[in-house]
Every structure is written in structure tokens, then in C-alpha cells.
């Protein structure tokens, strides 16, 4: 391993020699690829191909954060999360996050600011999460129905309360951790 100083220089990407679609699902695909790495080594890679997701960090007028508690089967438990959802094919992330905030919390935001984007698990997935700060919230009179596979409870927490939960290890979803730290300078 070499250690470099100064600006990060671009490196050549791996060459894809062969690709096989092993599974096509409702929310993601699973692909197996034969690759040649820039160093000449040939290897097999297994990837989850995902359209990406969008996430809102919703802030009420009094500075509280809307956080959801949702059961996640893969994690075998309840997780604290910010409202988020999967992008439809070709959908703009801001369109998706506006929809998800309304569906999951019953609130609409008048002011949106993009916080950034990040890979969720780049060792095996190309899923990118687009994070937005959502402010000037208004409660919807008739919130849309949640998706049938969602069981969500909406909580309000001060930034200090959420930070204490994050530091305690009670919130272990990487999206809430990353998005909170991206939003913190604006809270």
C-alpha cells in the first residue's frame, strides 16, 4: 500500500470483461461480473445494482428533527431513520424525497437544500443516497397512505437528543448518522 500526499489523482477504473444478471428484483438487481483490475489481476465481483434513494432531514419551526422509527426485517429490529425512499427509474432525487417526506411523516416542506450524496455500501452495491435538508414544514390535512410494507412511527427530537442517541449506539442506521452530520452545520 502506498501513501500519497497532495491532490487525489484519478486512477484507471477496472475493465468489465463479462457481466451476468443473476437476479432481477422489485427494488434491485444482483449482477456477477468478471473484471480486470488496473493492476492486471482478473477477479469476480458480485454487485447489487440499485436505482438509489433520497433522504430528508426534516426540521420543524422550533428546530426539532422529524425522525421515524421503522421495523426493518433484514436488521431484525426497529431502526431510527430519517424519512427516505427508493428512486423510481429515471426519477429526480428531489421529487422522490418530497414524496417520501409526505408519505412517511404527513408533513410537506417549503424549503429544500441539498446536503450531499453518499454511497451506502460501495463494497457490494452502487446505491447512492441523496440527502436534503427540509425546512418550513407544514402538516398535511390528509396525509397520503404509507406503503403497505411500512410500519412507521414519527418522532420529534432536538438535535442534542438525536446526537445523544447516535453517540449511545442506539441508532445504527448509517443513513441517519451520515445525514445528521451533513445537516448539523445548518441546524
Domain CATH for 182: 3.90.79.10
pLDDT of residue 2: 64
Residue at 71 is within a domain: yes
Residue at 4 is within a domain: no
pLDDT string in tens for the chain (187-residue length): 666 677 777 788 889 999 999 999 988 999 999 999 999 999 999 999 999 999 999 999 999 999 999 999 989 999 999 999 999 989 999 999 999 999 999 999 999 999 999 999 999 999 999 999 999 999 999 877 777 777 899 999 999 999 999 999 888 899 999 999 999 999 9
Is residue 113 within a helix (H) or strand (E), and if so which, with residue range?
Answer: strand 107-119
43 plus 67 within the same structural domain: no
Residue at 145 is within a domain: yes
63 plus 31 within the same structural domain: no
65 plus 42 within the same structural domain: no
pLDDT of residue 168: 94
64 plus 140 within the same structural domain: yes
Counting every residue written for the chain, the total comes to 187
Q: Has 148 been annotated as catalytic?
A: yes
pLDDT of residue 4: 67
Number of domains in the chain: 2
Q: Please state, in angstroms and as integers, the Cα–Cα distance from residue 63 to each residue in 136, 158, 171, 175, 179, following that order.
A: 10, 7, 20, 20, 16
103 plus 156 within the same structural domain: yes
25 plus 63 within the same structural domain: no
Q: Residue 42 belongs to what domain range?
A: 15-49
pLDDT of residue 153: 94
36 plus 108 within the same structural domain: no
pLDDT of residue 7: 79
Write down the catalytic residue from 9, 36, 127, 148: 148
Residue at 8 is within a domain: no
Q: Please state, in angstroms and as integers, the Cα–Cα distance from residue 58 to each residue in 44, 113, 156, 158, 169, following that order.
A: 41, 11, 10, 11, 22
Three-state secondary structure call for residue 99: helix
Amino acid at each position: 500500500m502506498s501513501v500519497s500526499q497532495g491532490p487525489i489523482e484519478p486512477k484507471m477504473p477496472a475493465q468489465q470483461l463479462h457481466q451476468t444478471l443473476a437476479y432481477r428484483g422489485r427494488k434491485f438487481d444482483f449482477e456477477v461480473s468478471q473484471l480486470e483490475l488496473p493492476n492486471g489481476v482478473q477477479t469476480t465481483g458480485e454487485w447489487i445494482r440499485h436505482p438509489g434513494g433520497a433522504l430528508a432531514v426534516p426540521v420543524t419551526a422550533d428546530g426539532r428533527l422529524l425522525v421515524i422509527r421503522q421495523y426493518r426485517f433484514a436488521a431484525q429490529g426497529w431502526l431510527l431513520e430519517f424519512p427516505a425512499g427508493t428512486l423510481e427509474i429515471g426519477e429526480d432525487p428531489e421529487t422522490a424525497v418530497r414524496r417520501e417526506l409526505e408519505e412517511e411523516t404527513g408533513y410537506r416542506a417549503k424549503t429544500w437544500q441539498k446536503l450531499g450524496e453518499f454511497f451506502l455500501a460501495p463494497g457490494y452495491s452502487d446505491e447512492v443516497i441523496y440527502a436534503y435538508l427540509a425546512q418550513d414544514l407544514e402538516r398535511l390535512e390528509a396525509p397520503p397512505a404509507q406503503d403497505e410494507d411500512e410500519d412507521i412511527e414519527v418522532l420529534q427530537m432536538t438535535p442534542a437528543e438525536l446526537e445523544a442517541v447516535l453517540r449511545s449506539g442506539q441508532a445504527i442506521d448509517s443513513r441517519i448518522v451520515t445525514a445528521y452530520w451533513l445537516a448539523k452545520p445548518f441546524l
